[in-house]
A and B are shown apart, each in its own frame.
Chain A
Amino acid sequence: MHRIGSLLLAVWLVFSCGAAWAASGHLEITLVPDASNPPSPRMGDRLKFLSVIRNTGGRPAQGVVAWISLVQVDPGREQPMDLEDWSAHKAVTEAVVSPGQEVTVEWPMRLIQSGNYRVVVSAVERQASNVVTSPFADFHVRRKPTVESNRILPVALGIPGGILALMGWRRYHRS
C-alpha cells in the first residue's frame, strides 16, 4: 500500500507539471498522538496516531487516498523508514468525502528500532492538483537491548560444558 501511495504521488507529480487548470482540493488533515500512548515509548511498544481528514470545500472530494510516512530524523541518520516492518495500516481510501464531512483514521504502529522519528499523514484526491499534508508529530523511541549477552554466555558455554561433563561422568561411572 505504501508503494501504491508513492506511485500515486509520482503519477500526480508528472501530471501536475503545467497543469494549472487542475482544480485545487479543499481537504484538511490533522494528526495527533493518541492519549493512551506511553509517554516515553521504547522498542516493542505500540503507538497510535489519530488523524481527521475534513472536506472544507463546497464540493465532494472524489477518490481520496491518505497515507502515513515515517522518517528518522537523528542527525546523520536521516532517512525514510520502510513502514512494512512497523505497521500494517499504511494507507486508507475514501471514495467520496462530502463537503463538511470528517473522516477519522487511526494509525497504529509497533516501534521496531530506537531513535527520533517524525510522522506525517498526506492525502490526495483524484482530481486535485496538490497534496495535502498534516502537521508533523515527533516521537522518540528508547533503546531496549534485544540481545542480552548475560543470557547468551551461560547458555553458549553451559550446554556444551554440561554435555562434556555428562560424557566424563559416564566414563568415570563405567570405569
Chain B
Amino acid sequence: MNPAWWIARKESGEILVNGRGLAWLFALTVIMSVLSLLLVSNTELSLLDNAQVVYMVMGTITALGALFAVVLGADAVAGERERGSLMPLLLTSVTPSEIVSGKMGGQASGWTVMYLLGLPYLWAVGSSGQNLLQAIAYLALFGTLTVLGFGFFALGLSARFKSVRTALLTSLISWMLLASPLLLGPSLRQSAVGRGFDAANPFSSSLNAFDSVVIDSQPFSMQTGRLAVALAWFVLTAWYAVRGVRKMEL
C-alpha cells in the first residue's frame, strides 16, 4: 500500500478515533444543531425564505468545515514536530511528497466526515423547499474546493512555522478574513471594495454560487467564473502545502 495512503489512513483514524477529533466534530455539529433548532418555531417560511435557510446552512457547513480543516492543517506538521512524532516519520523511507499527500488525504477525510454530517441538516431544513439536490451537489463541489484550500493553506503554514500556535493563529486570521462575507451580508458586499473582494475570494465564490443555485435557481453555466476562483484557490494552496513540506527544515 502506498505510504501516502497509509498516512491518510492514520490521519482519518485520528479524526474518528482520537478523543480530540471527535470533540471537534461534536462542537461543530452542536453549532449546526443550534442553527437548525432556531427554525423549529417557524415552519411556514416562504419557499425563498426556506431556500435562504438552506443557503445559510450550506454556508455554515462550509465555514465550519474550513475551520476544522484549518485546525487539522495547522497541527499536521507543526503538531507532529512538537509532539516529537515528525522525526520518526522523516527517518522512514517515506518521501516528503508522500507525507504531504497523506496529510492532504487526511484533510479530505476530515471534510468528507464534516460533509456527511452536514447532509442530514440540509435534508432537515430543505427537503420541503426547493433545489435540495442542487444544494447537496454544489456543496460537494464548491465546499470541497474551498474547505480543502483552507486546510492546505494551514498545512503549508504548519510546515513553515514549526509552531502550532503560530500556524493556527495565522490560518484563523486568514479564515476569518475570507469567511467574513458570511457575516457581512449582501449590502456591505455591494460596495466597490466589497465587489472586488468578492470576486477574488474563494469563500465568496462559493456563497454566491450557493445563492445563485439554491435561491435563484440559476444554472451551472452561470457558476463557471465562481468555480474558476474556487479551483484556483484549491490549486494554489495545494502547491503551497507541497512546497512547504518539501522545503521543511528540521
Contact = CB atoms under 8 A, between A and B. Distances in A.
Interface of A: 43-44, 85, 110-114, 143-149, 151-160, 163-164, 166-167, 170-171
Pick the most buried of A143, A154, A156, A163: most chain B CB atoms within 10 A of its CB. A156
A166 B128 contact: no
A112 B130 CA distance: 10
Interface string B12-29: 000001010011011001
A135 to B, nearest CB: 27
Contacts of B124: 148, 151-152, 154-156
Interface in B44-60: 44-50, 53
B125 A152 contact: yes
Given A43-B46, A43-B47, A163-B26, A151 B33 contact: no
Contact of B43 (A113, A147, A160, A171): A147
Contact of A144 (B33, B34, B128): B128
Interface stretch (B94-102, B115-123, B190-198): B115-123
Given A147-B42, A156-B33, A160-B29, 7 more contacts: A112-B48, A114-B46, A147-B53, A151-B123, A156-B36, A160-B30, A167-B26
B37 interface: yes
- Provide the main secondary structure of the chain A interface: helix
A149 B46 contact: no
Contacts of B49: 146
B46 A146 contact: yes
B180 interface: no
A153 B40 contact: yes
Contacts of B129: 146
Ranked nearest first, the 6 interchain pairs of A and B with the lowest CB-CB distance are A156-B33, A146-B50, A113-B46, A155-B124, A149-B40, A151-B124
A160 B17 CA distance: 16
Contacts of B112: none
Given A151-B127, A157-B33, A85 B48 contact: yes
Pick the most buried of A43, A113, A159: most chain B CB atoms within 10 A of its CB. A159
B235 interface: no
Contacts of A167: 19, 22-23, 26
B122 to A, nearest CB: 10
Given A156-B33, A156-B36, A145 B44 contact: yes
Nearest to B47: A112
B39 interface: yes
Contacts of B26: 160, 163-164, 167
13 contacts: A111-B47, A113-B47, A146-B46, A146-B47, A146-B129, A148-B43, A151-B124, A152-B36, A152-B37, A152-B124, A164-B26, A170-B17, A170-B19
Contacts of A151: 123-124, 127
B123 A155 contact: yes
Interface residues of B, number: 35
Contact of B120 (A110, A155, A163, A166): A155
A169 B176 CA distance: 35
A77 to B, nearest CB: 13
A157 B49 CA distance: 23
B121 A163 contact: no
Contacts of B40: 147, 149, 152-153
B127 A155 contact: no
A171 B23 CA distance: 12
Contact of B128 (A147, A154, A164): A147
A60 to B, nearest CB: 38
A66 B17 CA distance: 65
Contact of A148 (B19, B33, B48, B127): B127
A159 B120 CA distance: 9
A105 B44 CA distance: 33
Contact of B45 (A44, A147, A153, A154): A147
A145 B43 contact: yes
